[in-house]
Amino acid sequence: MTIFNSAKFSVGQKIHHTLFDYRGVIVDVDPCFRTTGGWERKTTQDRARRYDTPWYHVLVDGADHRTYVAERNLEADTSGDPINHPEVAEHFEGYRDDSYVSRDKTH
C-alpha cells in the first residue's frame, strides 16, 4: 500500500467530480482510502486502487449529503459559484479567494 504525504486538493477547496458531474467543497482529506463496511466493495471494484491516491470528504452542492471520493476523480471547480450545502457554515468561517476558510485550524 502506498500512502501519499501530500494531496492535490485541500480543505475548503471547491471541486468538480469528473465522473458524476457534481460540484462540492472538501471538508477533510485522507492520505489513502480509510473507511470500512460493505459499500466500498460496490464503489471500488479494484481493491488495490482504493489505496493509490488520497481520498476526500466532500459536501455536495445543492444536496444535504456528503461523498467520499478518490483524488483521481476530481478536478478543481472553476465556476466561481459558492457551494450550497447545509453544513458549509458548520465547517467554514468564510469565503475568500474562491475558497472556503476552515473553522478547524489544523487543516
Fold of 14-102: SH3 type barrels. (2.30.30)
Record the cell numbers describing residue 102, joined without a space: 476552515
Across 1-107, the runs of DSSP E, i.e. the strands, are: 14-17, 23-30, 55-60, 66-70, 74-76, 92-96, 99-102
Query: What is the chain's pLDDT, residue by residue, as a tens digit (107 residues)?
Result: 444 458 999 999 999 999 999 999 999 999 888 866 655 555 554 554 556 789 999 999 999 999 999 999 999 999 999 999 999 999 999 999 889 999 987 75
Cα(78)–Cα(66) distance, rounded to whole angstroms? 20
Q: Which cell goes with 25?
A: 467543497
Check residue 62 and give its pLDDT.
98
First to last CA, the chain: 24
pLDDT of residue 100: 97
Helix (H, G, I), strand (E, B) or coil at 68: strand
What pairing do the DSSP bridges indicate for beta strands 92-96 and 55-60?
unpaired
Closest CA to 56 of 26, 82, 79: 26
- For the chain, the structural domain boundaries read 14-102
pTM (two decimals): 0.82
Query: For residue 8, what pLDDT is reported?
Result: 95
